[in-house]
Structures are given as C-alpha cells and as structure tokens.
Amino acid sequence: MLLARKGYRVLLVDKSTFPSDIMSTHFIWQRGVARLKRWGLLDAVVTSNCPPVTRFSLDIGPFALVGSPPPIDGVSEAYAPRRKVIDKILVDRAAAAGAEVREGFSVQEIVMDGGRVTGIRGRTRDGGMITEHARLVIGADGMRSIVARAVQAPEYNVIPPLACGYYSYWSGVDCPGGEIYVREGLAFIGFPTNDRLVCVVALRKVEQFHQYRANIEAMYLETLSAHPGFAARVRGGKREERFVGTADTQNFFRKPYGPGWALVGDAGYHKDPITAQGITDAFRDVELLVEAIEAGAEEAFAGYERRRNEAALPMYQSTCQRAALGPPPPEMVQLFTALRGNQRETDRFFGTDAGTVPIPEFFAQSNIQRITSVRQSTLQNELSLLCAVG
Ligand SMILES: Cc1cc2nc3c(=O)[nH]c(=O)nc-3n(C[C@H](O)[C@H](O)[C@H](O)COP(=O)(O)OP(=O)(O)OC[C@H]3O[C@@H](n4cnc5c(N)ncnc54)[C@H](O)[C@@H]3O)c2cc1C
C-alpha cells in the first residue's frame, strides 16, 4: 500500500483469500494505531465496531497496577480488530492505492539469477504455475518465509521458544480494558474485540505444551483460576469459538535484505506473542523499509536493518524475559511496589508496552531510582506520621 501510494508498480500475492483469519490475538498498541491513523485506515477499524482499549491492569498476585498509557501522535486508544477485519482493510487499501492484488496465489519458488533474486514462481487459484519478475521481491510472508529460506537469510539473537498458549473468544464477559495476569509459570490476558467478544489468552511454559494440548480446555481454565474473580467472569460467559494455540513461538532476527530481496514483519523479526508487539512492529518496519527502497542504495538497506534492530531490541529483551514466565526479578517487584499510588509513572510504565514511552528512558537507572525513592520517602512520611500520632 505504501509503495503503491508512492507510485511504485507493486504486485501483491498471498496464498490466502480475504477476509480470512490467521492465528493471532491481533492486539494493536497505540504505537501501531498511530500508524493506522497516519495511513488513513483508523476510521475503517473504528467503524468495524471494534472497541477502543485505553485502560490496562497488570495483576501480579499481591496487587494490581491500573493505568492508561500516555498518547502518541494524539492517539490514546489501542484496538484489537479481528484479523479477518484488519487484513481485509489492508489488502483493500493496497488495491485502492494501485497495487495489483492476487489472492489465492501460493509462492512455491524464488527465482534467482546468479546470486540475485529476480522474481517468484507460484501456483494461482486455478492451479496454473506462473513466474513473475521484479526488481525487488519483498518477503512479508511470516515467520516461515519462503523468501528468507530461499536466500538463507542469516539469523541472529536466536532464543528458543519459551511459552505456549491457547486463546478463544467469549461472549457475555465484562472486560472493557486490557487485563494482564502474571504468576510464576503462567500468564493470562483478556481484552475486547469485534462483535462484543472478549479474547482470552492463557499461557504456560513451553515444556508444558504436550500436557496442555492433551487437555486444552481443562488446562486453559485451570490457568485462569489463578485469579478466581477473572476466572468466574470468563466461566460466566459463553465460549463462541474453538481454541487456537501454539508452542512454535520462535524468537529471532534475520538479516532483512540482500541482492533483489528484502524481508519485513515476522519474516525478518519474530518473537513470542506475549507482549503483542508483532503487528505494531510490522507497521513500523514497513515504513522503515519503504524509506530504504526510496533511498535505493545498499547503505539505506543496512540503515533499515540497524534502525529496526535499535527500535526492536529493548522490547525483544523484555518480551523474552516475560515469556520465560519465571518469578519477577526482585528489582521488578520493587518497582511495581513503588508504582502503587504513583499514577503518572504507572501510566508511563504501561506506555512502555504501548510504545508511547521509550523503554530505555523509563527503565533508565536514574528514573527507576527516582520512582523508588519517591515511594520510599512517601513510606517514611507515612511512618513518621504514624509515629507522631502514636
Ligand atoms: C498466538 C499468537 C498471538 C499473537 N498475538 C498478537 C497480538 O495480540 N498482537 C500483535 O501485534 N501480534 C500478535 N501476534 C503476532 C502477529 O500475528 C504477527 O507478528 C503478524 O501477523 C506479522 O504480520 P506479517 O504480515 O509479517 O505476517 P503474517 O501475518 O504471518 O502474514 C503473512 C502472509 O503471508 C502469506 N504467505 C505465507 N507464505 C506464503 C506463500 N508461500 N505464498 C503466498 N503467500 C504466503 C500468508 O498467507 C499471510 O497472509 C501473535 C502471533 C501468534 C502466533
């Protein structure tokens, strides 16, 4: 869509037809919604009757933090449009921008000339094989990218799968905000989506996947029971769809460019979905890639990789740390404790997931010290007041 809008001749092929669903819990943080707004697509999401999400809670057991991330570019809402909604919007807008869209086209082979990618060969909807040539082949084809495989794109920062999980959609469950529950060895999350449904995800450590898969519903509900109130709300509703889940939650970066090819989205950078960053990141990276294509030179593509990695690494580390589902490190417990009653900093903490507050800025030692010392001095004041009263 972005390339077609800039006047490039674009052929977009996808083996799916749209609207269609794909495995994803499709939560788009404020940082991603801001791009939808900039591209003129936000209205279509809003009119799909997808409710905005502005309030989040993080329940770590002894207590919960509740807050609203600060806005970014005037956007303070997150949305979780179903993939059959958002993917259709994106494909239609690409076509409207002038891209030639061929649905039901499965790429079988990447065409090379010497070391350079020069096109694709694939099966059309009616079964014929077709070859198409292009100056640049962009693999926006997900974690198992055929483009990445064909060019043997080098992988780095690889971390094996850490968590596994299942999700489904429930009606009759009151959950207007994003609710995140974390306990040692498990986590679960609920948020609203289209059609008045609530998406509920229940995660366990990857080692438990065989046990989980053998008895999905029981283990899913057992996971939720770590918070009896939330579990009761979900049990009081009705499950409207089947369970969907995976343990194939790979974590890696790939070199995203080479002669005649580029990678974007999951094809170039994949991580555990626990922090729901994949779509938001893909939106960022397409903009970076389009800038590199416009600049044209090899250094511009190297710049694309560098900028992607710089932007992605802090959240990648946080995502992998959270996906391990271990006990929270003591300094995190100390921070959460200090955040209680400090609404401004709690909002900014949620902003680090929403992409509206930079992680390095919030988690800078000086900032953390400031937050924890404010809490300590408040505690000391309360204590001296009690002593004075006593
Ligand atoms: C369980 C789960 C939950 C998730 N939850 C969230 C979440 O809440 N929020 C979030 O931001 N992210 C989430 N993600 C991650 C998110 O889904 C991905 O990051 C996102 O879909 C990446 O988009 P993409 O376009 O790069 O790849 P994809 O969405 O995978 O799209 C790839 C496209 O390429 C097509 N394709 C693949 N191979 C071929 C071929 N050979 N020929 C033709 N077409 C092909 C596919 O049909 C598909 O349409 C989740 C992922 C999982 C697995």
Q: Which of 287, 322, 357 is the last residue of a domain?
A: 322
| Percent of the chain whose pLDDT exceeds 70 | 96
Residue 183: strand pairing partners = 186
How far away, in angstroms, is 371 Cα from ligand 1 center? 38
- Residue 387 — very low, low, confident or very high, per pLDDT cuts 50/70/90? very low
Does 382 reside within a domain? yes
As for ligand 1, residues whose beta carbon falls within 6 Å of it are: 13-16, 22-28, 106-107, 140-142, 146, 246, 265-267, 273, 276-280, 282
Task: Quickly count: other Cβ atoms within 10 Å of residue 63's Cβ.
Answer: 12
Structural contact between residues 31 and 72, judged by C-beta atoms closer than 8 angstroms: yes
Does 74 reside within a domain? no
How far away, in angstroms, is 257 Cα from ligand 1 center? 19
Pocket test for ligand 1, best of 279, 283, 322 (most atoms within 8 A of CB): 279
Q: What is the pLDDT of residue 101?
A: 98
The residue whose C-alpha atom lies closest to atom 38 belonging to ligand 1 is 141
112 in the same domain as 17: yes
Over range 170-190, report the average pLDDT. Answer: 98
Does 239 reside within a domain? yes
Over range 78-105, report the average pLDDT. Answer: 98
Q: What is the pLDDT of residue 384?
A: 47
Instruction: Name every residue whose Cβ is closer than 8 Å to that of residue 73 and which is 6 or more positions away in sequence.
Output: 34, 37, 38
336 in the same domain as 206: no
213 in the same domain as 139: no
Q: Which amino acid is residue 266, in one-letter code?
A: D
Long-range contacts of 343-348 (CB under 8 A, 24+ apart): 343/67, 345/371, 346/65, 346/66, 346/67, 347/67, 347/68, 347/69, 347/70, 348/69, 348/70
The residue whose C-alpha atom lies closest to atom 34 belonging to ligand 1 is 141
Residue (of 27, 26, 25) closest to 56 by Cα position: 27
How far away, in angstroms, is 362 Cα from ligand 1 center? 29
Using the atom order of ligand 1, give the atom closest to the CA of residue 16.
47
12 in the same domain as 109: yes
Residue 176 has pLDDT above 80, yes or no: yes
Using the atom order of ligand 1, give the atom closest to the CA of residue 280.
11
239 in the same domain as 185: yes
Residue 151 has pLDDT above 60, yes or no: yes
96 in the same domain as 11: yes
CATH number at residue 197: 3.30.9.100
Q: What is the pLDDT of residue 388?
A: 46
Instruction: Name every residue whose Cβ is closer than 8 Å to that of residue 21 and which is 6 or more positions away in sequence.
Output: 82, 83, 84
Over range 350-366, report the average pLDDT. Answer: 98
Structural contact between residues 101 and 84, judged by C-beta atoms closer than 8 angstroms: no
Q: What is the pLDDT of residue 378?
A: 55
Structural contact between residues 89 and 44, judged by C-beta atoms closer than 8 angstroms: yes
| Percent of the chain whose pLDDT exceeds 90 | 94
Task: Quickly count: other Cβ atoms within 10 Å of residue 32's Cβ.
Answer: 25
Does 151 reside within a domain? yes
DSSP 127: S
Does 112 reside within a domain? yes
138 in the same domain as 282: yes
235 in the same domain as 201: yes
Q: What is the pLDDT of residue 272?
A: 98
Sign of CA dihedral 262, 274, 74, 38: positive
Using the atom order of ligand 1, give the atom closest to the CA of residue 122.
42
How far away, in angstroms, is 121 Cα from ligand 1 center? 21
Does 148 reside within a domain? yes
DSSP 329: P
DSSP 190: E
313 in the same domain as 339: no
Q: What is the pLDDT of residue 328?
A: 86
The residue whose C-alpha atom lies closest to atom 2 belonging to ligand 1 is 24
Residue (of 362, 359, 272, 346) closest to 57 by Cα position: 346
Structural domain count, the chain: 3
- Residue 376 — very low, low, confident or very high, per pLDDT cuts 50/70/90? low
How far away, in angstroms, is 382 Cα from ligand 1 center? 51
355 in the same domain as 312: no
Structural domain harbouring 112: 2-22+36-50+79-156+250-322
Look up the pTM and report it.
Answer: 0.96
How far away, in angstroms, is 265 Cα from ligand 1 center? 8
Pocket test for ligand 1, best of 11, 17, 25 (most atoms within 8 A of CB): 25
- Residue 253 — very low, low, confident or very high, per pLDDT cuts 50/70/90? very high
Q: What is the pLDDT of residue 332?
A: 92
Does 31 reside within a domain? no
Q: Which residue has the higher pLDDT, 374 or 134?
A: 134
How far away, in angstroms, is 269 Cα from ligand 1 center? 11
Q: Using CA atoms, how far apart are residues 352 and 205, in angstroms rounded to an integer?
A: 24
Instruction: Name every residue whose Cβ is closer than 8 Å to that of residue 209 and which is 6 or more positions away in sequence.
Output: 164, 247
Instruction: Name every residue whose Cβ is closer than 8 Å to that of residue 298 and which is 6 or more positions away in sequence.
Output: none
> pLDDT averaged over the chain?
95
286 in the same domain as 150: yes
Q: Which of 275, 299, 322 is the last residue of a domain?
A: 322
